[in-house]
Structure 1
């Protein structure tokens, strides 16, 4: 073993034998599915333009950070793929529900129209969200894990903030490019506002929650038998 190898920081990861990963995976899927529904509504708050899922989606990245830091890139990739497939399934369910024949009275017709208006655009939003989610979460996880492998257990705050910037930018740009016409954004200045507000908001929220995310990561690490207690 060379001196360089001896001094190289060690990066620990846990296996997924405990129940904690399953709970976080379920929460990640629910957050993404709900944010897909909320994102079909355009929202204007003063000069800022966003969508109805704006308060949910940062939670997906926080959960992704915890999974990546504790379990590593391979497990995080499984979580991303599983969440992707569950969101596709939810979108197919919306399509089937809308397509099923219903009653022809006025009340039922009104409900059908409401379903079509509320859930009809969701498949396109899901496409935007899933493409952004897959690329953004993959980059987020990859950057976080590579930084951990380089620096070891230290500098957790740097891993969380660095991976967030890369992942959120890719995610927001992809999502907004597809979702903008669905929620009624058709001109470039409004689109630019939509992208910048989404990116800055999500990034700042995650930065603000770095202490909370760090505590959550520490809590899971201490309770994962295959990880053990490690300083970070």
Structure 2
């Protein structure tokens, strides 16, 4: 039996007449495992892809080089999923999702090193594959370390902002929560990640680091903001279809009206 209980307490109604306070669904309901699996997959694949430096050339007339990594198109999805988990299941569930992603990423990094350490076939093809694996997967542990440090700080801040704002505003202000949390979390994450992972990716100068960090932050925030209509629609649909969320919401409204 799932014993997880909402920590929400009755609060005065907001200007719209809806009661404030945070209401969350049970983690044992049908969607949490899917969201958790998606977040873990995105984080692990981002760690592999980010080991490759990517250059799209320079912006004409500026000299600004467009530098990123091979995981750039994936990682913003981790924050989108984190927003959904926090809004629907609460900060405790978000922490569990973050820690699970960390654990699987660390396990993946250890597996890569074991694979590299295993003796290859002695022929030319086997040796070539060994060299390719060492080059491709060898630095992944540094990228994973950078990703874990950045994601821990950024996603924790992201989750904190969402949960605190929801506690104050209740069901209102979803769009505002998503907008506010995205920028703060991504800024902290990007600075930490780029500072640690730069050398593993192939960035060697302060100018390259600045270009990589600025572009990474702007790109991630733009993607998250562009996804907010979709993210909010998914959250609202999950709330409507999750019976435990609807049950807790009805109890909360009844307690506030009492």
TM-score range (shorter-chain normalised) is over 0.9
Question: Which runs of structure 1 show a deviation greater than 2 angstroms over 4 or more consecutive aligned residues?
Answer: 4-8
1:151-192 CA-to-partner distances (Å, cap 9, x unmatched) read 111111110011111110110000000111111111111111
Distance between the aligned counterparts of 1:168 and 1:161, measured in 2? 11
Distance between the aligned counterparts of 1:62 and 1:89, measured in 2? 24
Distance between the aligned counterparts of 1:194 and 1:206, measured in 2? 18
Say which of 178, 201, 209 aligns to 1:183: 201
Say which of 113, 118, 125 aligns to 1:95: 113
1:92-122 CA-to-partner distances (Å, cap 9, x unmatched) read 0001000011211100000000111110010
Say which of 218, 237, 242 aligns to 1:219: 237
The gaps in structure 2 that reach 5 residues or longer are 1-9, 15-19, 59-65, 250-258
C-alpha RMSD over aligned residues? 1.4
1:62-104 CA-to-partner distances (Å, cap 9, x unmatched) read 0000000000101100110111001000000001000011211
Correspondence for 2:13: 7
Distance between the aligned counterparts of 2:207 and 2:101, measured in 1? 33
Correspondence for 1:59: 77
2:82 corresponds to 1:82: no
Max radius of gyration: which structure? 2
Distance between the aligned counterparts of 1:6 and 1:91, measured in 2? 49
Correspondence for 1:157: 175
Match of 1:154, SS? coil
TM-score (norm 2): 0.85
TM-score (norm 1): 0.95
Correspondence for 2:220: 202
Correspondence for 1:193: 211
| Shift, 1:5, TM fit | 4.4
Distance between the aligned counterparts of 1:16 and 1:68, measured in 2? 11
- The 5 Å alignment of 1:96-135 reads 96-135=114-153
